[in-house]
Chain A
Amino acid sequence: MAAETADWLGVPLAIIGGTLRGSAPFLFVSLGECLTEKSGKINLGLEGTLLTGAMSAYAVSYLTGSPWLGVLAAGVAGLCLGAIHAWLSQRSGVSDVAVGIAMIVFGSGIAFFFGKAFIQPQAPQLPIFEFGAWSNYPPLQSALQVSPLLLIGIAIAPIMQWFFKSTRWGLYVRAVGDSPSAARAMGISVFWVRFLAITIGSFLSAIGGACLSLYYPGIWSENISSGQGLMAVALVIFARWQPMQCLWAALLFGGAQAIGPALQSVGVTSFRYLFNASPYIFTLIIMIITCSPKRTLAGSPGALGTNE
């Protein structure tokens, strides 16, 4: 029966669609975290930044009627939170991990507080590209609806890779991250390089929040992120601090979110809990495989986790 084949064809399509829909937040947050960690500091607060970004994007889009202004507002909110983290985490004797945890609470607190008024209204959403318009098969059409933000994110990944590899500024960031004392000897201001890396990283992850509230699922609610910001931090380790690998990892995580619902929709209901938990299981497996007490990971910035 034609309907039967369409059913099973729907599963990979739904996963592809889910990947294109759901991976943008992972991509932006992991790229932001990648930049931050390359400079030798870790920012766990990106979960809070993601929420604040989602809230400010939705709020500004609703109030002004322009979703792109919303994206900009999310970025500005991210810059502010990033600046707080960048300044605090570089005080002497302050642990960046502890500040990051505080920033999760702070960021989500801000988002929940100011977001109260925006739970009910419907904000204008970002436009989408219909790459499936050539097909007359509706599931394919919907799977190939791509947000411009995802394309921007996909473009940023190779640019960032090139930035680290081939530009003077990229070298500065790597130098500061690998050996702050050598960077100081070169005459680089460690504080300002890290400050910029952290704030721009935070800017990117706030844009990730805008993807959540203005594209998919396209609402503002206090449960909107469901831990994606934290998962993206783990994803950077998985990607070995390489922006291009962040892209593949983000696509993998985005797709993993779609597996459970897609299989349930064709009637595969066993192991439902396992499929629903697959992104978290991926994260755990990655942590187990990549952690070792004896050595640091290949690619890990030298100053990461120290208080230099």
Chain B
Amino acid sequence: MKDEKPLYIPRRQIIRGIIASTAFGVTSQLWTGCTPSEPTTTDTTATPPASGSELTIGFIFVGPKDDFGYNQSHFQGQGVISQLAGVKTVDEANVPETATVQETMLSMINQNGATVLFPTSFGYFDPHILKIAKENPTVQFLHCGGMYKEGVHPTNVGSYYGYIDEAEYISGIVAALTTKSGKLGFVAAKPIPQVLRNINSYTLGARSVNPTATVQVIFTGDWSIPVKEAEAANSMVDQGVDVMTCHVDSPKVVIETAEKRKIFCTGYHVDQSQLAPNGFLTGSEWNWGKVYTTYVEQVKAGKTLADGGIPHLVRGGLKEEFCKLSSYGSAVTDATKKEADAVLAKFMDGTMVIYAGEIKDNTGKIVIAKDKKLMQTDPTLEKMDWLVEGVVGKIG
């Protein structure tokens, strides 16, 4: 045996190896993919609808449905509309943003008879939703993120998104009134406009009540890397940060780390008060149930996206109930509650403007001129690429 060349591997062995690993890969992939992919049916219609026709709505999530984060917020929305009479919902979780989601959408349309689809993840839109929407013009595709463009995308596609930064602004107020060190911490995934807007609104809220407060930002680089999120949270606590929040897929690690280190925190996506019974102040929650209910009513009334009955772009904030504030935790004082509630009331009657000049970014450049007011609906806010004065951190 020793006279063989050192790197000699028989061809048969290589082929066998490749076949074996492929077979293993395929079977185990099927196995993991299969069980969740039988769409679970939530049939909650107690009484059959008078019309006899049941509306089937499909939900697709990129991650698990109970992650205390983005996916859970949509799953809660699904829970709300599955209670409505004459509505049946089907769902599938852990669907990657690849051609797999096209298969999922097709099986929901063809096998479950879904006529409305909510593929909730940002990356599903282009090209997956666009392709399937073109092939199935009678199905309504509603996507979270606000990427629909008139004339470019199929007319049976609609986009919705919420101005959750309004709730972040109030969270910032509560945080700044609670902090003792004047240092707030923000664990962020990636420097994209949606994230930057939340950081900026949080900071503006904080500095509206405490002009010397600073917000330390750490970008982890991805939506879900638990070890780095925990590391970011810990190193900020070491730097004296005593209120922490985050914008990542699942805030569980950050909130739990904050609680372990005995500091305060504000939540994101859904209510996280049970994760931090001592330190939880408040948080920004999505309220998709309200948004989805409106859609269901419109579809039931016979309206479609294509005929213009359902608007292609839907946006809203606290006032429109697209998002809400988590109930205050035990650590929030009455004076703080009062101040936060006053601002909340201003958001509710529509008089509150977050981005009112003059606003400087954290390099000292004026980004919004004096006397200029950018309303929430202003499209320039959706292209935000700066961090406001008071944020410690850099995008680049």
Contacts and interface: CB of A to CB of B under 8 A. Distances in A.
User: Which A-B residue pairs are the 4 nearest by beta carbons?
Assistant: A102-B24, A217-B230, A95-B17, A269-B394
Interface string A1-42: 001001100100110011001100000000000000000000
A119 B238 contact: no
Given A260-B228, A261-B218, 19 more contacts: A6-B239, A6-B240, A13-B238, A18-B235, A21-B234, A22-B231, A97-B17, A98-B21, A106-B24, A122-B275, A139-B237, A217-B227, A257-B227, A257-B228, A260-B231, A264-B235, A269-B394, A273-B221, A276-B221
A267 to B, nearest CB: 5
Nearest to A128: B260
B250 interface: yes
Contact of B235 (A122, A258, A307): A258
A10 B20 contact: no
Contacts of B256: 122, 217-219
A119 B64 contact: yes
Contacts of B240: 3, 6
Contacts of B31: 109, 113
B238 A120 contact: no
Contact of A223 (B32, B226, B257, B393): B226
A262 B235 contact: yes
28 contacts: A3-B240, A10-B239, A14-B235, A18-B235, A94-B17, A94-B20, A99-B21, A101-B25, A105-B24, A105-B29, A106-B28, A113-B32, A116-B36, A119-B66, A119-B67, A142-B261, A217-B257, A218-B253, A219-B226, A219-B252, A219-B253, A221-B224, A222-B64, A261-B232, A261-B234, A262-B235, A264-B217, A269-B396
A269 B31 CA distance: 43
Interface of B: 1, 9, 12-14, 16-18, 20-21, 24-25, 28-29, 31-32, 35-36, 63-64, 66-68, 72, 94, 216-221, 224-232, 234-240, 250, 252-253, 256-257, 260-261, 275, 392-394, 396
A126 to B, nearest CB: 13
B305 to A, nearest CB: 33
B228 A276 contact: yes
Nearest to A228: B227
A218 B13 CA distance: 42
B238 A226 contact: no
Nearest to B23: A102
A163 B35 CA distance: 44
B349 to A, nearest CB: 37
Most chain A beta-carbon contacts within 10 A, residue among B31, B35, B64, B220:
B64
A112 B32 contact: yes
A106 B231 CA distance: 29
A224 interface: yes
A220 B260 CA distance: 17
B67 A142 contact: no
Given A221-B250, A308-B1, A267 B235 contact: no
A262 B234 CA distance: 9
B20 A264 contact: no
A3 B392 CA distance: 15
Contacts of A142: 234, 237-238, 261
Contacts of B392: 267
A228 B67 CA distance: 22
Nearest to A293: B7
Nearest to B239: A265
Interface of A: 3, 6-7, 10, 13-14, 17-18, 21-22, 93-95, 97-99, 101-102, 105-106, 108-109, 112-113, 116, 119-120, 122, 138-139, 142-143, 181, 212, 216-219, 221-224, 226, 228, 257-258, 260-262, 264-267, 269-270, 272-273, 276, 307-308
Most chain B beta-carbon contacts within 10 A, residue among A17, A212, A216:
A216
Contacts of A21: 230-231, 234
Contacts of B227: 22, 212, 216-217, 224, 226, 228, 257
Contact of B25 (A10, A102, A218, A307): A102
A21 B42 CA distance: 42
Contacts of B252: 219, 221
A18 B230 CA distance: 10
B228 to A, nearest CB: 6
Contacts of B64: 116, 119, 222
Contacts of A13: 238
Contacts of A267: 392-393
Nearest to A6: B240
Contact of A261 (B72, B228, B275, B396): B228
A18 B24 contact: no
Nearest to B183: A3
Contact of B232 (A102, A112, A212, A265): A265
Contacts of A113: 31-32, 35
Most chain A beta-carbon contacts within 10 A, residue among B66, B224, B226, B260:
B226
A260 to B, nearest CB: 7
Contacts of A122: 256, 275
A102 B28 contact: yes
Contact of A270 (B28, B68, B394): B394
B239 A105 contact: no
Nearest to B68: A120
A273 B220 CA distance: 9
A106 B68 CA distance: 27
A113 B32 CA distance: 6
Contacts of B228: 226, 257, 260-261, 276
B229 A93 contact: no
A262 B63 CA distance: 29
A120 B67 CA distance: 6
A276 B229 CA distance: 12
B232 A264 contact: yes
Nearest to A225: B227
A187 B232 CA distance: 54
Nearest to A112: B32
Contacts of A308: 1
Given A261-B218, A269-B396, A17 B238 contact: yes
